[in-house]
Amino acid sequence: MLLKNQNTFAIEVNNLVKTYKGGIKALDGLTFNIRSGSIYGLLGPNGAGKSTTVKILTTLSKPDSGEANVLGIDVLSQPDKIRRIIGCVSQKSGVCYDSTGRENLILQGQLYGMGGKYLKERVDELINILKLEEAANRSTLTYSGGMLRKLDIAMGIIHNPQILFLDEPTTGLDPEARATLWEIILNLSKQEQVTILLTSHYLDEIDRLADRVAIIDQGKVIIEGSPRELKDKLAGDVIKIELLKNYSNSIFHVEDVLKKQEGVIEVKIKSKELQLQVSRGASILPNILQVLQSLSIEVASVEIIPPSLDVVYLKYTGKRIEA
């Protein structure tokens, strides 16, 4: 029987800390809440703590400290209850390659105590929803990457979970396969009312799917909001300027001069890189370059970046997500 959440939030995470051997701190006070029926994105580069968060929430790992609840159930004290009401699709496929797609789904359902006519109908339903009819009775060794990920998702929701964890679900897939999986994920949330925690380092994926997103870096939330809210906070473009060398002796004077220029909202300096938040990048750039030239600052490259989650990430972490 499915449990009904009496709380506002389907998932509650409070001050999680996790340190691995060697002193590597994967989580450093991670805190966020997820409303029922929504898609919540954790956005960050590899090593930001996304997979560690999923492992803790799915009871596969324990934090050093902090609290986490799923549908009001504590993940540490009642892991068995958690496992019955969640589904999980990890980065690595859980498909058995010695079996067909249908056999994989049947086995997964049996592991959840399903059987008989109900299991058969559920397997047929998922094969139809995910458009695996032609491949269902073939060995999964013949499946493409996109087909394997669809089968992974089907296995994750075979038991009709209320919460679904998707850890980097489209990594390595071609654009067409990614688009197909995006529609499947959206349908699960909007039509089936499944609460989804999605981890990704793909900006377009989070922008397309997530109702809310938390940008995390070094194991903590840097900023949170809907993709639209986060982009609206930018109030303009970002000009990224790479300098030919490190002007350590005069760089603070440069910062003061640039801040006084019309249309410049914020200036950040990191080593040989200038990052300016401006109101109108294309019209302001010539004046900025002229100012740098007057200060004998040599420029190696310039980039104007319009409002996007990439710029949001750059603004609040000081680096591009690819780094």
pLDDT per residue as tens digits for the range 237-258:
889 999 988 876 666 788 889 9
Query: Cβ distance 44 to 31 under 8 Å?
Result: no
Q: What percent of the chain has pLDDT over 90?
A: 59
**Of 313 and 287, more confident:** 287
**C-alpha–C-alpha distance, residues 267 and 265, integer Å:** 7
69 contacts 86 by C-beta, under 8 angstroms: no
Look-up of token digits 């902090």:
66
> Is 210 a residue whose pLDDT tops 90?
yes
Q: pLDDT at residue 282 above 90?
A: no
pLDDT at 2 over 60: no
Q: Using 50, 70 and 90 to split pLDDT, how confident is the model at 3?
A: very low
pLDDT digits (tens, 9 = 90+) for 56-115: 999 999 999 999 999 999 999 999 999 999 999 988 888 999 999 999 999 999 999 999
**Of 55, 54, 63, 61, whose CA–CA distance to 19 is shortest?**
63
- Encode pLDDT of 141-167 as tens digits: 999 999 999 999 999 999 999 999 999
- pTM as predicted: 0.77
How far apart are alpha carbons 30 and 37 in whole angstroms?
Answer: 22
- How do the residues of the chain divide into helix, strand and coil, expressed in percent and rounded to 5? 35, 30, 35
Q: Which domains are present in the chain?
A: 9-226 (3.40.50.300), 235-306 (3.30.70.100)
Residues 99 and 148: their CA atoms lie apart, in Å, by 12
CB 288 within 8 A of CB 262: no
What is residue 250's predicted lDDT score, i.e. its pLDDT?
Answer: 66
- In this prediction, residue 323 carries a pLDDT of 53
Given a contact cutoff of 8 angstroms between Cβ atoms, the answer to whether 181 and 172 are in contact is: no
pLDDT band at 5 (very low <50, low <70, confident <90, very high): very low
In angstroms, the CA 146 to CA 177 distance is: 5
Least confident of 127-141, 227-241, 280-294: 227-241
Say what the pLDDT of residue 247 is. Answer: 73
DSSP state of 236: S
